[in-house]
Amino acid sequence: MKKKMIYLDNAATSYPKPQCVIKEFLDTLKNAGGNPARSSHTLSLKATEKIYSARESIAGMFGTYKEENVVFTYNATTAINMALKSYLKPGDHVITSDIEHNAVIRPLEALRRSKGISCSCFDSSEDAEQEIARLLTPQTTCIVSTLASNVTGKTVDLSSLSKAAKKHGLYLILDAAQSAGHHLIDLSVTDFDVLCAPAHKGLFGIQGCGFAIFKENERKESFIEGGSGYESASKEMPLTLPEGYEAGTPATGAIAALGAGVRLVNSIGIERIQKKLETLNERAIEIIKSVKGSIVYPSDSGIVSFNISGIPSNGVAYLLNKRGICVRDGLHCAPSAHKKLGTISSGTVRVSFSYFNKMKDIDLLYKALKEISDNR
C-alpha cells in the first residue's frame, strides 16, 4: 500500500489543493477556454467573467472594493518587482525590514545598480513606526516590508507601517506572501500603495499566479508592455488599471482557481484559520522542543524553524522525507532573516502548516524527529 505523505511545506506552496479550487480550474479549462477580454464569442466572454469574479473576490477579501485595482501577475515576486520598479525614481531612498525575502532584496539590489536607489533596514523586533522615523532621510520615498517572515512567521505590524507611511508621506509596498489568507488585512483602514501576494500559499490557488492590489487607479511607469485587448491602436500601455500593468494572455485557469480559493478562505473565516495555525504552532514548538538536541527558534503564524544539533538542516529534511514528511531546509531564499536568527551558515529546518493540517501530523513529525535524533 502507498505510504501516506505528511505535507508540512505550506509556506512554499499549500498542498493538497481543496476540491473547489481543482473544480474551478477544470471548469475554466473545459467551459471557459477562450482568451479573456479579447474576442466577443461565448468562450472568451466566459473567461473574462471568470477573471472578473476572481478580481471581485480578492477586492472583497482585502476590503478595497475596487476590483479594477487588482492586477494579476505570475507570482508575488513579479508583483513586488512591478511595484518597486514602477514607483521608485533615481536617487530614492527606501526603508525595508531586516527579515525580507529575496523577492524584495534582489529587486532593491538591481535598482541600486540601475537607478542609484539606496536602502536602510529597520529592526523588525522593534516598533516599525519608531524605527522608520529613525531611518528617514530627505530622499526617503518608500517603505517596502513583509508582513510575516517566511522563515519564522514573525509578523511586522501593518498598522505601524501604515501610520509611518501616512505621517512621512511615503509609498508603502507590502509583501503579503505569508500573510494573505492567514492574517486579517483590511486595506480600507490602511494607508498603503501596493499589496503583493501569491495565489499558491494561504489562498490555496495554484502556482504561476499572484496579484498586486494598487491603491491608485492610474499606473506609474509601465513594467511590462504588450497587448491587453484595450486601447489597441496606441503604442503605449493604457494608463488605467488593471490593463496598464497586465500585458499578454493571463493564466485564466489559475486566476479562476485563486478566486475559488479566496472564496473558500472567506467562508472558513480568517480568524478561524489564524486560530488553527496558532494551535498547530504551539503544539509543534512543544513537541520539537522535547526532542533531544533540538534548537527551536521563536516562531509564529503556522511556521516553525528549528535545527537538530549534529545534523545539517538538509540532512534532517532528507531523513524526514524518507519517512514521508515534507519540509523545507536551508535559507528559504531569505538570507537577512537567517542572519538575524544566527543561522546564515546552517540554515534551518522549516515546518509550515495550512488550515487543513491535523494534530496527528504533528504527532507523526514527533515520532520521526525522535527517531532521527536517537540515531544521531
Query: Distance (Å, rounded) from C-alpha 314 to C-alpha 84?
Result: 33
Nearer of residues 36 and 181 to ligand ALA, judged by Cβ: 181
| Residues paired with residue 47 on neighbouring β-strands, in sequence order | none
Closest contact distance (angstroms) between CB of 18 and ligand ALA is: 20
121 conformational bin, left if phi > 0, alpha if psi -120 to 50, beta if neither: beta
Binding flags for ligand ALA, 75-114, as an x/- string (CB under 6 A): --------------------------x-------------
**Out of 17, 219, 220, 328, which residue is the one contacting ligand ALA (CB under 6 A)?**
328
Name which of residues 263 to 292 contact ligand ALA (CB under 6 A).
none
| Residues paired with residue 308 on neighbouring β-strands, in sequence order | 294, 311
Is the peptide bond preceding residue 107 cis, with omega within 30 degrees of 0?
no
Nearer of residues 9 and 129 to ligand ALA, judged by Cβ: 9
The strands making up 349-352's β-sheet, listed across from edge to edge, are: 294-296, 303-308, 349-352
What are the CA-CA distances from residue 13 to residues 177, 190, 373 (Å)? 10, 27, 27
Nearer of residues 50 and 328 to ligand ALA, judged by Cβ: 328
**Out of 43, 133, 136, 333, which residue is the one contacting ligand ALA (CB under 6 A)?**
333
Span from 62-70, 81-89, 111-119, 327-335 in contact with ligand ALA (CB under 6 A): 327-335
Nearer of residues 101 and 219 to ligand ALA, judged by Cβ: 101
H or E, element range at 136: none
Closest contact distance (angstroms) between CB of 149 and ligand ALA is: 9
Q: Is residue 12 within the footprint of ligand ALA (CB under 6 A)?
A: yes
Query: Distance (Å, rounded) from C-alpha 316 to C-alpha 372?
Result: 8
Q: Is residue 199 within the footprint of ligand ALA (CB under 6 A)?
A: no
The strands making up 171-175's β-sheet, listed across from edge to edge, are: 70-73, 210-214, 194-198, 171-175, 140-146, 93-97, 118-122
Cell numbers representing residue 206 in the block: 495554484
Query: Distance (Å, rounded) from C-alpha 209 to C-alpha 24?
Result: 15
Closest contact distance (angstroms) between CB of 147 and ligand ALA is: 14
Count of residues near ligand ALA by CB under 6 A: 7
Closest contact distance (angstroms) between CB of 102 and ligand ALA is: 8
Query: Distance (Å, rounded) from C-alpha 53 to C-alpha 49?
Result: 6
Nearer of residues 210 and 250 to ligand ALA, judged by Cβ: 210
**Out of 219, 276, 283, 332, which residue is the one contacting ligand ALA (CB under 6 A)?**
332
Closest contact distance (angstroms) between CB of 200 and ligand ALA is: 9
Closest contact distance (angstroms) between CB of 103 and ligand ALA is: 7
**CA distance from start to end of the chain:** 29
Report residue 350: phi and psi, to 5°.
-120, 125
Q: Is residue 11 within the footprint of ligand ALA (CB under 6 A)?
A: yes
Q: Which residue is nearest to ligand ALA (CB)?
A: 12
12 DSSP assignment = T
Q: Is residue 150 within the footprint of ligand ALA (CB under 6 A)?
A: yes
Cell numbers representing residue 284 in the block: 509543534
Binding residues (CB under 6 A) for ligand ALA: these are 11-12, 101, 150, 328, 332-333
